[in-house]
């Protein structure tokens, strides 16, 4: 699906979540501003690749700290409901330790009707875990759409390949 939105015009919901932090390695000391700048560049590159491949207007990044923290109270705005639903589904991705593809959250056996947040409008969800230098889970990247979407095996392989490229980039720079 091509939304016709250029990456520099992506809605704010595409930029939600938080950057995956870049760790400092003993042999590569960096200032906090250098780490933050590099994390922003890495996130922008990953966002661009995901947008180019899927064209979905909602791309999320969740750190493990966000996914394991107590969920915030639901709020009324639709974008907040969408973010809360994506966070909940990303947490499922962490428990599975693999990617998660949901064509229609209303018809997926993993999702209980009580778990669906009101006002979110999300229908399709695709996520993959992000691993750190020691292969530990450091977060989840997710693509969400407001229409039912039949994720193919090529889509699942594509998100895993994009995440693997992101992980390789981080390894080469550490």
**Within the chain, what is the greatest distance between any pair of CA atoms?**
49
Q: Please tell me the distance from the alpha carbon of residue 36 to that of residue 20, in angstroms, as a whole number.
A: 10
| 8 A C-beta contact, residue 86 and residue 116 | no
**Tokens 């705005």 map to which residue?**
77
Report how far Cα 148 is from the mean position of its chain's Cα atoms: 18
Give the tokens for residue 88: 């909940």
pLDDT of residue 75: 52
Per-residue pLDDT tens listing for the chain (174 residues): 333 333 333 333 343 444 343 343 444 556 778 878 887 888 888 888 888 998 877 899 898 888 888 765 555 455 677 888 889 899 988 888 888 999 998 888 877 776 676 666 788 999 999 988 788 888 999 999 989 999 999 999 999 999 998 888 777 766
* Domain 29-173, classified CATH 3.30.450.40, yes or no: yes
Q: Read off φ and ψ for residue 136, nearest 5 degrees.
A: -80, 150
- Containing 143, the helix (H) or strand (E) segment is strand 137-145
Q: Where are the domains of the chain?
A: 29-173
């Amino acid at each position: 699906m091509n939304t016709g939105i250029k990456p520099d015009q992506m809605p704010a919901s595409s930029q939600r979540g938080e950057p995956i932090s870049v760790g400092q390695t003993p042999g590569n000391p960096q200032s906090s501003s250098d780490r933050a700048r590099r994390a922003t560049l890495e996130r922008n590159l990953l966002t661009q690749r995901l947008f180019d491949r899927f064209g979905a207007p909602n791309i999320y990044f969740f750190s493990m700290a966000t996914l394991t923290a107590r969920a915030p109270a639901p709020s009324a705005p639709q974008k907040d409901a969408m973010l809360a639903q994506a966070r909940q589904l990303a947490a499922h991705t962490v428990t599975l330790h693999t990617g998660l593809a949901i064509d229609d959250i209303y018809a997926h056996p993993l999702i209980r009707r009580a778990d669906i947040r009101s006002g979110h409008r999300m229908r399709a969800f695709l996520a993959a875990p992000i691993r750190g230098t020691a292969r530990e889970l450091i977060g989840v990247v997710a693509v969400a759409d407001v229409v039912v979407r039949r994720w193919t095996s090529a889509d699942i392989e594509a998100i895993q390949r994009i995440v693997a490229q992101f992980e390789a980039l981080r390894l080469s720079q550490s």
